[in-house]
Structure 1
Amino acid sequence: MEFSGSISPDHPAPPSVDEVSRVFTVPLMTLAAQSALTELGVGTMSGSSNGEAAVLEVVSISFTLWRNPADPEDPANLAELSEEQQRAVDLVPTTPLPAWMVERLRLMRYPMLWEAVQTTRESGEGRETVEAVLVGHVNHIVTNSFRDERVRGDFPGELDSPVTEKHIERVPVVVDGMEVPGVRIDTDPDVFGLGVALEGRIATAVVAREFLPRVTLAFETRLEHA
């Protein structure tokens, strides 16, 4: 299949995690370093009130998952793609694409932990709680990653069996190598969620259950990469 479009080879790449981290007003959280995961990209959400300038409120990090980290070329690493996804990765550009886009298309062949870790900035107005943020993160991931199985109706649709704060459990969570009080949601059939309130921010992680055996669910403060 051919791909034609107006994107030039020098079209700038989306902001990197490092670039977003530099403008975020609180330390960015991620998952503890592990060979099965590499950062894939970053998403952001901004907000404002009373006519003030927009402020970055939420930063989400996505990851590529490697079933065999020692050999990235091992076919075992490849994801099972839908027909639509397979068509996307098989696109043949009619004009050169930016190198970053070529790499993104290549990485679509592998399992992705989309927006798996979120850092939510506390506004100081008492609107954010770790319980509410984790519930929102879990339902967001399920709605967008399990649409065929769990969402009814036209977009945005209605999520079947969303989680609520009644599903919250109190558990210890590892942050920067130390256990601290946290919360989890372990009742959803498709994903597992973990959260912790930290100084000035809330960290949450939501991972599909099929990937849990390969992922260490522990948080660490993200340092800028060299």
Structure 2
Amino acid sequence: MVRALPFSIYGLVPQPSLEDLDNIGLAFVGGFERSTQSTVSVTYTLWRNPDDHDDPANLAEIDEIIRDSLEQDPPWPRPRWLIEQAECMRYPMLWEAVRTTWTADAQEYQSLPNQLVQHLNHILMNRFRAELGIPDGPPSGPPGTEPWHARLSAVNPKVNLEVDGHEVDAVEIDTDPFVYGIGAQLSPEIVVTVVIPRADLPLIRLALATRDRGGAA
């Protein structure tokens, strides 16, 4: 499905602290074949000590239930891809860190600032629930009304982002205590947004490159 998409996909430039294992998310408005808006998200494994993958510093903080499930072998054989996917759960991830969004009609869907706000709030709601005190279940109020939500007023429109080796105009959200967001309009149809936890920012080079459809850029 990714190879069949009619637009380029972007990811963070290759760097020692990140591993791109083709962990891709897809979302469509109107279905795959008749999509009027398509979003591709890329998730990375994060190496805090990329020089030594066996360093315990690389391990993620996981609860006992997940830890026990990883330690136990099921009574049935598992394919290699499933074993490798399970092993990835031992390490922290940059979940849906980069989004590429294509729209058939640029006037019909939301602007770059809106898309960046939505991406950032999506990461907050799904990865920082405990820190934000978000109860289980869907949000109780209308979109954008929760006190922890980033809002359009937080968007700074005067920054740059490196994409394929060139600086482009970008917007950022640098006001949230847990995450940092940046994005750029690369064409009338293409928006790319990046959201990174603040704790991981020192390990990450914030630069993008066109991503190969079959794997890392």
User: Does TM, normalized by the shorter one, top 0.5?
Assistant: yes
**Structure 2 gap segments, 5+ residues each:** 141-145
The answer to whether structure 1 residue 162 and structure 2 residue 144 are counterparts is no
**CA contact 1:122–1:128 (8 Å) conserved in 2:** no
Which residues in structure 2 correspond to 1:49-128 (within 5 Å)?
A: 53-54=34-35, 57-126=38-107, 127-128=109-110
> In 2 relative to 1, CA 55–92 (structure 1 residues): closer, same or farther, beyond 3 Å?
farther
Please tell me whether residue 216 in structure 1 is matched to residue 205 in structure 2.
Answer: yes
Give 1:43's aligned residue.
Answer: 25
Partner in structure 2 of residue 189 of structure 1: 177
C-alpha RMSD of matched pairs (Å): 2.0
Q: Residue 126 of structure 2 aligns to which amino acid in structure 1?
A: N
Classify the secondary structure of the residue corresponding to 1:118: strand
Gaps of 5+ in 1: 1-18
Displacement, 1:68? 1.7
Post-superposition offset of 1:39: 1.3
TM-score by length of 2: 0.87
Residues 161 and 184 of structure 2 are in contact (CA less than 8 Å); yes or no, is this contact kept in structure 1? yes
Q: Which amino acid aligns with 2:148?
A: S
State percent identity of aligned pairs. 39
Of 73-82 and 202-211, the range deviating more from structure 2:
73-82
1:25 aligned to 2:6? yes
Report the Cα offset of residue 53 of structure 1. 3.2
Relative contact order, higher structure (CA 8 A, sep 6+):
2
For the Cα contact (< 8 Å) 2:36–2:104, is it kept in 1? no
1:75 is displaced (CA, Å) by 2.0
Could you tell me which residue of structure 1 aligns to residue 143 of structure 2?
none
Residues in 2 aligned to 1:125 and 1:216: alpha-carbon distance in whole angstroms: 29
2:148 alignment partner, SS class: coil
Question: Contact conserved, 1:151 with 1:160, CA < 8 A, in 2?
Answer: no
Question: How far off is 1:83 after superposition?
Answer: 2.7
Kindly tell me: are residues 54 and 161 of structure 1, through their superposed partners in 2, closer, same or farther at Cα, counting changes over 3 Å?
same
Counterpart Cα distance in 2 of 1:160 and 1:91: 41
Instruction: Quote the offset at 1:25 in angstroms.
Output: 1.5
- 1:177 aligns with 165
1:169·1:185 contact (CA, 8 Å) conserved in 2? yes
1:147 aligns with 2:129: yes
Shift of 1:202: 0.5
Q: Which moved more, 1:65-74 or 1:134-143?
A: 65-74
AA matched with 1:178 = H
Q: Deviations over 1:172-218 (max 9, x none)?
A: 11111111110111111111101000122100110111100000111
Cα distance in 1 for partners of 2:69, 2:174 equals 33
Measured in 1, the distance between the counterparts of 2:112 and 2:72 equals: 41
